[in-house]
Amino acid sequence: MKPPVPSENPTGDDAPKREIGLSLDGDDNRGGAARGVDAIKHALKTMPGAPGVYRMLDDKDRVLYVGKAKNLKKRVVAYTRIMQLPIRIARMVAQTVRMEIITTHTEAEALLLESNLIKKLKPRYNILLRDDKSFPYILITEDHDYPRIVKHRGARAKDGSCFGPFASAWAVNNTINHLQRAFLLRSCTDAVFSNRSRPCLLYQIKRCAAPCVDRISKAEYDGLVDICRDFLTGRSQKILKQLEADMMDASERMEFEQAAMYRDRIRALSQIRSHQDINLEGVEEADVIALHQEGGQSCVQVFFFRSGSNYGNRSYFPRHEQSAEIPEILSAFVGQFYADKPAPKQIFLSHEIEGQELVENALGINNNRKIELLVPKRGGKRKLVEHALTNAKDALGRRMAESATQRKLLEDLADKLDLESTPERIEVYDNSHTQGTNMVGGMIVAGPEGFMKNAYRKFNIKGDIAPGDDFAMMREVLTRRFARAQKEDPDRENGSWPDLCLIDGGLGQLGVARAVLEDLGIEDVMLVGVAKGVDRNAGKEVLHIPGKAPVRLDMKDPVLYFIQRLRDEAHRWAIGTHRAKRAKQIGKSLLDSVPGVGGARKKALLHHFGSARGVADAGLSDLEAVEGISAALARKIYDHFHEAK
Q: State how far the Cα of 437 lies from the Cα of 225, in Å rounded to an integer.
A: 45
Domain over 286-398 is classified CATH 3.30.420: yes
Q: Is residue 604 packed enough to be buried (19+ CB in 10 Å), middle (13-18) or exposed (0-12)? A: middle
Contact predicate 71/324, CB 8 Å: no
- Condensed to tens digits (0 to 9), the pLDDT of residues 493-528 reads 778 899 999 998 888 899 999 999 999 998 888 999
CATH number, span 27-126: 3.40.1440.10
Q: Is residue 572 packed enough to be buried (19+ CB in 10 Å), middle (13-18) or exposed (0-12)? A: middle
Backbone angles phi, psi at 539, to 5 degrees: 105, -15
What is the predicted pLDDT for the residue at 640?
80
SS3 96: coil
Of the pLDDT bands very low, low, confident and very high (cuts 50, 70, 90), residue 421 is confident
Fold of the CATH domain 426-485+496-584: Nucleotidyltransferase; domain 5 (3.30.420)
What is the predicted pLDDT for the residue at 9?
37
Of the pLDDT bands very low, low, confident and very high (cuts 50, 70, 90), residue 281 is low
Q: State how far the Cα of 507 lies from the Cα of 548, in Å rounded to an integer.
A: 12
Lowest mean pLDDT among 324-328, 438-442, 583-587: 583-587
Contact predicate 116/41, CB 8 Å: no
User: What share of the chain has pLDDT > 70, as a percent?
Assistant: 88
What is the predicted pLDDT for the residue at 30?
42
What is the predicted pLDDT for the residue at 631?
85
What is the predicted pLDDT for the residue at 26?
38
pLDDT of 52 over the 90 cut: yes
User: Treating both helix axes as pointing N-terminal to C-terminal, what angle do 507-519 and 470-488 enclose, rounded to 10 degrees?
Assistant: 30
- Condensed to tens digits (0 to 9), the pLDDT of residues 184-213 reads 899 998 888 888 888 889 998 888 999 999
Average pLDDT over the chain, rounded to an integer: 83
Q: Within 10 Å of residue 522's Cβ, how many Cβ atoms? A: 15
Q: Residue 297: beta bridge partners?
A: 294
What is the predicted pLDDT for the residue at 146?
92
241 contacts: CB under 8 Å, gap ≥ 6: none
Q: State how far the Cα of 114 lies from the Cα of 100, in Å rounded to an integer.
A: 13
Q: Is residue 168 packed enough to be buried (19+ CB in 10 Å), middle (13-18) or exposed (0-12)? A: middle
What is the predicted pLDDT for the residue at 3?
43
Question: The whole model's pTM is what?
Answer: 0.68
What is the predicted pLDDT for the residue at 616?
79
Long-range Cβ pairs for the range 206-209 (8 Å, 24+):
206/181, 206/264, 207/177, 207/180, 207/181, 208/180, 208/184, 209/184, 209/185
- Condensed to tens digits (0 to 9), the pLDDT of residues 448-487 reads 888 888 899 999 888 777 777 889 889 999 999 999 999 8
Buried (b) or exposed (e) across 120-148, using 16+ Cβ within 10 A? Answer: ebebebbbbbeebeebbbbbbbeeeebbb
